[in-house]
Each structure stands twice: as structure tokens, then as C-alpha cells.
Chains A and B, each alone.
Chain A
Amino acid sequence: GQNIDQPTEMTATEGAIVQINCTYQTSGFNGLFWYQQHAGEAPTFLSYNVLDGLEEKGRFSSFLSRSKGYSYLLLKELQMKDSASYLCAVRGEDSNYQLIWGAGTKLIIKP
């Protein structure tokens, strides 16, 4: 079957760095996406990885290892507004390019 695993919840301190891991087992691979979702709101797109390596976007970076079926989202200089759920999603080898979604990691930032 197809599966994506993320930790359910993480806690970090304002100003610190946190790494949110995502492992996946899917039928083929056509890219991995990270989304941020604040409570009661829709998910917003953060990053996209299709090749191995690190993609950096300001305070957020995302890493992918296709051979290990593994990705992480790295958040630096944490701010209180980063408190949200972070969703990992994989596009498998499907002709209609559907996404397989993880359940999300709830990140709690403490002052």
C-alpha cells in the first residue's frame, strides 16, 4: 500500500530550529510537497522537491532523499506565527497526478 508517516506533534522554542521528518512508501515518485496549515485555515504551499538534495526558501528548507523515501522540512529562527500543522504530500506514479497526504505534524512554538 501507499503510506506517508510524520510525527503527530512537535514542540519547539521561539528563535530555535526544528526539523519535521516525513517518510513515504508510494507506487513511484513524481515529487514531494510541504504545506503549512494554520488552525481553521486551508493549507498553503511551502516547498517542492523532485530531485535529491536541499531546497532553501528563506527561513524554510526542505530536503529529499528518494533512495531512502525520506524528506524533512527545516524551520529556522522560529516565530510564534510558525505554530501550525505541516503536511507532507507525495505525487505518485499516477496518470492523474493525485497527491498522497500525510496526516500532518502539529508544531507548537513556545516563547
Chain B
Amino acid sequence: SQTIHQWPATLVQPVGSPLSLECTVEGTSNPNLYWYRQAAGRGLQLLFYSVGIGQISSEVPQNLSASRPQDRQFILSSKKLLLSDSGFYLCAFDAAGSQPQHFGDGTRLSIL
């Protein structure tokens, strides 16, 4: 079966520190991969998506970046976090164009 793993579940970081969130998918090949951010009580904001290894599209200009070093691995990074980077970060995948996206458990990021 297809599964998605995302970690860590919670993270508290000081302003200006780096960030690395990791997401891996099992049970499927060449998935579309997505990073979303959700502010409290708000909808999902698409940050990055990837249709293949090394292929990253950015939806929102910001101090975050994403990488896909392997087919089923998606990483969200920042060199210097801002207070506004706080939020709930979700990784998702879908296996084909008509299939639904499935989400990891999410990472709650708090910037102090």
C-alpha cells in the first residue's frame, strides 16, 4: 500500500536558524509531491510541487526552498527562518493525474 511519512511532528526553532523537513513516500513510483503550509484556521497554501527528481516548482516567493534528491523523497529547507514561517507544514503526494492527494501527518513549526 502507498504510505507517506513526514517528520518531525513538532519543531520549535529560533528566528534566523536553518530548517530541514523531510518527507518520504512508499509503495509508488514517480509520485507528484507537494509541500503546503496552513496558517491557523486557514486553508492550504501550496509552497512547492515536484513531478520528478530534481524538478521543483515554486508557487510563492519566500525564504524557503525544496529539493527532491530521490524519487520518493521531498525536503523543505530554509537557511534563515523568519517569524512569519510559523505554521503547519504538510507534505502530500498523488500517484497519477486523477488520483487524490494524500497527506503526511504534518509538522507544526513554531518560530521564537
Q: Is the CB of A98 within 8 A of B90?
A: no
Interface of A, helix, strand, loop or mixed by DSSP: loop
Q: Is the CB of A50 within 8 A of B98?
A: yes
Q: How many residues of B contact A (CB 8 A)?
A: 22
Inter-chain CB contacts under 8 Å: number? 46
A87-B98 contact given A42-B104, A96-B32, A96-B51, CB 8 Å threshold = no
A29 within 8 A of partner (CB): no
Kindly specify which of B14-22, B41-49, B62-70, B74-82 makes contact with the partner chain: B41-49
Binding site for B on A (CB under 8 A): 30-31, 33, 40-45, 48, 50, 87, 91, 96-99, 101-104, 106
Binding site for A on B (CB under 8 A): 32, 34, 41-44, 46, 49, 51, 57, 90, 94, 97-98, 100-106, 108
Listed A/B pairs (13) with beta-carbon separation below 8 Å: A30-B98, A42-B90, A42-B104, A43-B44, A50-B98, A91-B97, A91-B98, A96-B51, A96-B57, A98-B49, A101-B43, A101-B44, A101-B46
